[in-house]
């Protein structure tokens, strides 16, 4: 069979779509910027072209499947699914007409700007879960969820594209070695083994996509497609370093057994709890109507979160609206801006050098207010010494002692101020915060991968780790001790759009072969008070010796 020639600018498809310029190329065809001459609007038109050498029966089957699935995708309606306007046949092959978006792919963002903040990734996850839920309910499997098929518009909308396009078994597209974002990295174990697959396979691919976004690299990358697919089937993911409280969701979605893999409702419920709690940016009532929120925030966040997972299961995930401040900072250190790129692309992201992977702590608000003088006196004492009551005239000194509450995390022990509460306790960190202001907290963290405290903070300073998208100013990066061990301390201020200035202190030391962190972040107006809390925690900071 003679393969049809590819289209050229100026061609009319379906009697109404005038092709203008090619905006994307891939193994399955070309995406064109086009004009709908009837409705007079700009659209994206995907020209489906199969590779040469396929038997006539195979070509016909692939075209028929493409038409069938594109028509099914056209019936899907969700803010996070790219809208399919029309499916036409021209020159013996299908053409898919879609909305034209001004966006960047998630793959381009990771390759060019580095890992995405956990809060933004949680929003992306909720949006894509909603898209997959609608698709699966309509009998449509995506089959190729990956960062290249996730688009983030300039307005912050998160969209899953490339529904309804048939995939060849050999459709493997790779980028640079060491930073591969092609399909083999995102295929589910059951598909890699040739077993039957269904909606859980798309959810596995989503888990790998979210891991890649927050960590800056795929979890099963072996540098070779076959070795990578073997790792997908046999190996656990590379332990994440940047994901913070997202870790349970990532591992739940990347469960090897599709019967044990997390479903949409469970994953979405946990992500919403994280956005309302550990990943909350600002829970003040004035932000309830924040247009960038993934889901409406409750007017008041109680200290103990009620389990409303059953109610959440009835909801369909919405769009992810991302603030500029949640995008990764550019390597130049300038504030990130989203470039105007056509959204619907057929190919993989452009080549880029691998992103370095060091450390990251989740961006959050920090600390507590100054307590009564007696409470600080307790905090500042040696943990092995208990305070004594002062005797009155003529009395013998009392031997009564006051128990000092402790906060413990992975061997770290500090004195805990009275009234403070644990905001989050995960495999990655522990937060303590004041009961009346969740934006002022103290964080304890242990990172087994770190080997140099100063280098870790130099990297954080260069990349504005805690101030993505804001006005960042380094106030000092100096040598300092933590738990009696030589380390480093970074002090900085950060002003995010629409928020009051914040002030942070971050101290790191390598203890027992791992990075140990004590981190304070608070409002700049409260820094003088809250610095005393930080210093009291430093005075009581101790690390248990390793066992065994």
What is the rounded average pLDDT of the residues 325-329? Answer: 41
* pLDDT bucket at 322, cuts 50 / 70 / 90: low
Distance, in Å, from the CA atom of 342 to the CA atom of 192, rounded to the nearest integer, reads: 32
What is the rounded average pLDDT of the residues 76-104? Answer: 87
Per-residue pLDDT reduced to its tens digit, 497-545: 778 899 999 999 999 988 999 999 998 888 888 888 889 899 999 998 8
What is the rounded average pLDDT of the residues 431-436? Answer: 82
pLDDT of residue 31: 86
**Weakest mean pLDDT among 2-6, 72-76, 489-493:** 2-6
Per-residue pLDDT reduced to its tens digit, 122-178: 999 999 999 999 989 888 888 889 998 899 998 889 999 877 543 433 333 333 333
Assigned token pair, 82: 């790219």
What is the rounded average pLDDT of the residues 90-107? Answer: 88
Question: Which percentage of the chain shows pLDDT scores above 90?
Answer: 32
* pLDDT bucket at 465, cuts 50 / 70 / 90: confident
Q: Active-site residue among 144, 171, 224, 248?
A: 144
**Weakest mean pLDDT among 96-105, 207-216, 464-473:** 464-473
* pLDDT bucket at 468, cuts 50 / 70 / 90: low
pLDDT of residue 377: 33
Distance, in Å, from the CA atom of 193 to the CA atom of 196, rounded to the nearest integer, reads: 9
Question: SS3 letters for 113-146?
Answer: HCCCCHHHHHHHHHHHHHHHHHHHHCCCCCCCCC
CB of 131 within 8 A of CB of 160? yes
What is the rounded average pLDDT of the residues 346-373? Answer: 32
What is the distance between the terminal CA atoms of the chain, rounded to a whole angstrom?
71
- Look at residue 105 and tell me whether its pLDDT is greater than 60: yes
pTM: 0.52
Indicate the domain borders of the chain. 12-99, 106-326, 373-388+401-543
Distance, in Å, from the CA atom of 36 to the CA atom of 319, rounded to the nearest integer, reads: 27
Helix (H) or strand (E) holding 458: helix 453-462
Distance, in Å, from the CA atom of 152 to the CA atom of 323, rounded to the nearest integer, reads: 11
- Look at residue 448 and tell me whether its pLDDT is greater than 70: yes
Q: Give helix 264-276 / helix 118-137 axis angle, nearest 10°.
A: 150
Question: Which percentage of the chain shows pLDDT scores above 70?
Answer: 70
pLDDT of residue 407: 87
Mean pLDDT of the chain: 74
SS3 of residue 89 by DSSP:
strand
Strand partners, 105: 151
pLDDT of residue 455: 86
What are φ and ψ of residue 510, in 5° steps?
-90, 110
**Which of 43-52, 121-130, 414-423, 452-461 reaches the highest mean pLDDT?**
121-130
pLDDT of residue 126: 96
- Please state, in angstroms and as integers, the Cα–Cα distance from residue 26 to each residue in 146, 344, 427, following that order: 15, 12, 40
pLDDT of residue 57: 77
Residues 6+ apart with CB under 8 A from 112: 330, 352
What is the CA angle 101-471-322, rounded to 5? Answer: 30
* pLDDT bucket at 427, cuts 50 / 70 / 90: low
144 in active site: yes
pLDDT of residue 130: 94
Residues 6+ apart with CB under 8 A from 438: 280, 283, 301, 365, 423
pLDDT of residue 26: 57
Higher pLDDT, 182 or 431: 431
pLDDT of residue 418: 73
* pLDDT bucket at 91, cuts 50 / 70 / 90: confident
Q: What is the CATH number of domain 12-99?
A: 3.30.200.20
Q: Give helix 199-215 / helix 118-137 axis angle, nearest 10°.
A: 160
Distance, in Å, from the CA atom of 158 to the CA atom of 421, rounded to the nearest integer, reads: 34
Distance, in Å, from the CA atom of 381 to the CA atom of 386, rounded to the nearest integer, reads: 8
Distance, in Å, from the CA atom of 182 to the CA atom of 196, rounded to the nearest integer, reads: 22
For domain 106-326, say whether CATH 2.70.50.60 is its number. no
Distance, in Å, from the CA atom of 252 to the CA atom of 200, rounded to the nearest integer, reads: 11
What is the rounded average pLDDT of the residues 476-503? Answer: 90
Alpha helices (runs of H) in 254-389, residue ranges in sequence order: 264-276, 309-312, 373-379
pLDDT of residue 420: 75
Residues 6+ apart with CB under 8 A from 493: 472, 473, 475, 501, 502, 503, 504, 524
pLDDT of residue 202: 94
Q: What is the CATH number of domain 373-388+401-543?
A: 3.40.1000.10
**Weakest mean pLDDT among 48-52, 108-112, 191-195, 208-212:** 48-52
Nearest to 346 by CA among 18, 23, 83: 23
What is the rounded average pLDDT of the residues 180-194? Answer: 79
Distance, in Å, from the CA atom of 543 to the CA atom of 548, rounded to the nearest integer, reads: 15
**Which of 44-53, 248-257, 466-475, 538-547 reaches the highest mean pLDDT?**
248-257
pLDDT of residue 403: 67
- Look at residue 181 and tell me whether its pLDDT is greater than 50: no
**Weakest mean pLDDT among 48-57, 98-107, 122-131, 186-195:** 48-57
């Amino acid at each position: 069979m003679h393969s049809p020639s590819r289209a050229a600018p100026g061609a009319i498809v379906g009697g109404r779509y005038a092709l203008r310029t090619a905006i994307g190329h891939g193994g399955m065809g070309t995406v064109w910027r086009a004009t709908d001459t009837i409705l007079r609007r700009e659209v994206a038109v995907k020209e489906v072209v199969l590779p040469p050498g396929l038997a006539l029966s195979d070509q016909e089957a692939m075209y028929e499947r493409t038409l069938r699935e594109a028509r099914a995708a056209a019936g899907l309606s969700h803010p996070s699914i790219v809208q399919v306007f029309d499916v036409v046949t021209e020159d013996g092959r299908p053409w898919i007409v879609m909305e034209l978006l001004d966006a960047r792919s998630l793959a381009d963002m990771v390759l060019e700007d580095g890992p995405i903040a956990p809060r933004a990734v949680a929003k992306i996850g909720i949006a894509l879960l909603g898209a997959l839920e609608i698709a699966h309910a309509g009998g449509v499997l995506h089959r190729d969820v990956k960062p290249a098929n996730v688009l983030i518009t300039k307005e912050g909308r998160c969209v899953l594209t490339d529904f309804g396009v048939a995939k060849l078994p050999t459709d493997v597209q790779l980028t640079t070695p060491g930073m591969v974002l092609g399909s083999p990295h995102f295929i589910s174990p059951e598909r890699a083994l040739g077993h039957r697959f269904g909606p859980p396979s798309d959810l596995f691919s989503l888990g790998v996509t979210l891991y890649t976004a927050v960590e800056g690299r795929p979890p099963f990358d072996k540098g070779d497609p076959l070795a990578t697919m073997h790792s997908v089937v046999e190996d656990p993911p590379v332990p994440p370093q940047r994901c913070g409280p997202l870790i349970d969701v990532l591992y739940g979605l990347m469960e090897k057994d599709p019967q044990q893999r997390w479903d949409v409702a469970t994953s979405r419920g946990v992500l919403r709890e994280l956005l309302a709690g550990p990943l909350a940016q600002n829970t003040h009532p004035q932000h309830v109507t924040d247009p960038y929120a993934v889901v409406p925030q409750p007017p008041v966040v109680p200290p103990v979160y009620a389990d409303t997972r059953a109610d959440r299961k009835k909801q369909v995930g919405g769009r992810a609206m991302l603030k500029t401040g949640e995008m990764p900072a550019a390597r130049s250190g300038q504030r990130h801006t989203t470039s105007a790129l056509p959204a619907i692309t057929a190919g993989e992201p452009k080549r880029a050098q691998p992103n370095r992977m060091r450390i990251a702590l989740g961006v959050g608000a920090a600390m507590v207010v100054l307590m009564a003088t007696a409470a600080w006196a307790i905090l500042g004492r040696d943990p092995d010494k208990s305070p004594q009551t002062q005797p009155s005239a003529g009395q013998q000194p009392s031997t009564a002692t006051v128990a000092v509450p402790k906060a413990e995390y992975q061997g770290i022990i500090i004195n805990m101020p009275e009234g403070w509460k644990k905001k989050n306790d995960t495999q990655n960190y522990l937060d303590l915060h004041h009961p009346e202001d969740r934006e002022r907290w103290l964080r304890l963290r242990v990172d087994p991968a770190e080997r140099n405290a100063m280098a870790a903070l130099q990297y954080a300073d260069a990349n504005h780790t805690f101030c993505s998208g804001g006005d960042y100013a380094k106030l000092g990066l100096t040598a300092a001790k933590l738990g009696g061990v030589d380390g480093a301390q970074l002090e900085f201020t950060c002003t995010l759009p629409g928020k009051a200035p914040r002030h942070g202190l971050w101290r790191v030391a390598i203890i027992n072969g791992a990075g140990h962190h004590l981190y304070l972040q608070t409002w700049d107006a409260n820094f003088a008070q809250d610095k005393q809390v930080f210093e009291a925690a430093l005075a009581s900071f101790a690390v248990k010796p390793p066992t065994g």
